[in-house]
């Protein structure tokens, strides 16, 4: 049965089955948009946290580190409550839509981007910050320069964020509803089709998802070789592997 399903899944991939590839494209578009938003906000926020000392910074970092282990279903529940008709953002009418899924994935990925960026920029500040300050560079300028100097390391953060987003299932299923033709993505489709016993579609999507994750790991390896070793501190390398 497994072999037959795998052969059928391969046939769907080779024949460019429209249903299968519609789900794949929607999933990749969703993860790319969420990753873009999370990286724009997260790299700026992480750089600021690395360079600015303020009262309550320790508490902020504690909350940030805690949010790294936040279950995706909890994120989905919170976003659902925010976007529900009686919620503070209910007027947007986003619930059970592609926008709601992007929102949920962005919230899920954002802490990872902030935490990894903060560690990278903080390490770079310790190595290069004194020289930049001696040249009169202020906090904002130092942040931009350090981020540029660490651009290859930050690329691994972007790849990690995308990997975290594309493999997520709980949050997008809660806020998106897994509606065929509208909000169904690879992970939610795999869960649904497996429960229905439609293994060819589930296996086909599973193969594509594994290929995406493999490609991300290959790209990350290339970036790490380009940077001459680990692009992030050891403790955050473990976070990146877990997120991906």
Structural domains in the chain plus CATH codes: 2-243 (1.10.3720.10)
**In terms of Cα–Cα distance, which of 167, 173, 168 is closest to 77?**
173
Q: How distant is the alpha carbon of residue 219 from its chain centre?
A: 15
Task: Tell me what pLDDT residue 142 has.
Answer: 85
Task: Tell me what pLDDT residue 4 has.
Answer: 66
> Which residue numbers in the chain have pLDDT < 70?
1-2, 4-6, 9, 227-244
Task: Tell me what pLDDT residue 1 has.
Answer: 57
Running DSSP on this structure, what letter comes out for residue 231? Answer: S
Task: Tell me what pLDDT residue 82 has.
Answer: 95
Task: Tell me what pLDDT residue 36 has.
Answer: 94
Task: Tell me what pLDDT residue 220 has.
Answer: 80
Task: Tell me what pLDDT residue 124 has.
Answer: 87
Rounded CA-CA distance 147/45 in Å is 12
Give the predicted TM-score (pTM) of the model: 0.83
């Amino acid at each position: 049965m497994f072999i037959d399903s795998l052969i059928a899944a391969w046939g769907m991939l080779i024949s460019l089955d429209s249903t299968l590839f519609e789900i794949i494209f929607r999933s990749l578009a969703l993860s790319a948009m969420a990753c873009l938003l999370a990286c724009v906000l997260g790299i700026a926020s992480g750089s600021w946290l690395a360079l600015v000392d303020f009262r309550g910074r320790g508490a902020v970092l504690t909350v940030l580190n805690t949010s790294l282990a936040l279950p995706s279903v909890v994120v989905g529940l919170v976003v659902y409550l925010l976007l529900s008709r009686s919620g503070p953002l209910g007027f947007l009418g986003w619930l059970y839509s592609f926008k709601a899924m992007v929102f949920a994935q962005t919230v899920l990925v954002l802490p990872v981007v902030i935490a990894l960026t903060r560690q990278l920029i903080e390490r770079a500040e310790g190595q290069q910050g004194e020289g930049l300050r001696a040249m009169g560079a202020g906090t904002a300028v130092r942040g931009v320069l350090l981020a540029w100097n660490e651009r290859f390391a930050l690329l691994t953060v972007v790849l990690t964020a995308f990997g975290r987003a594309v493999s997520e299932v709980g949050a997008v299923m809660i806020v998106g509803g897994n509606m065929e033709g509208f909000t169904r993505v690879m992970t939610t489709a795999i869960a649904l089709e497996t429960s229905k016993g439609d293994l060819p579609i589930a296996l086909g999507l599973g193969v594509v998802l594994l290929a995406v994750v493999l490609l991300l790991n290959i790209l990350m390896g290339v970036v790490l070789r380009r940077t001459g070793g680990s692009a992030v501190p050891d403790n955050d390398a473990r976070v990146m592997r877990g997120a991906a």
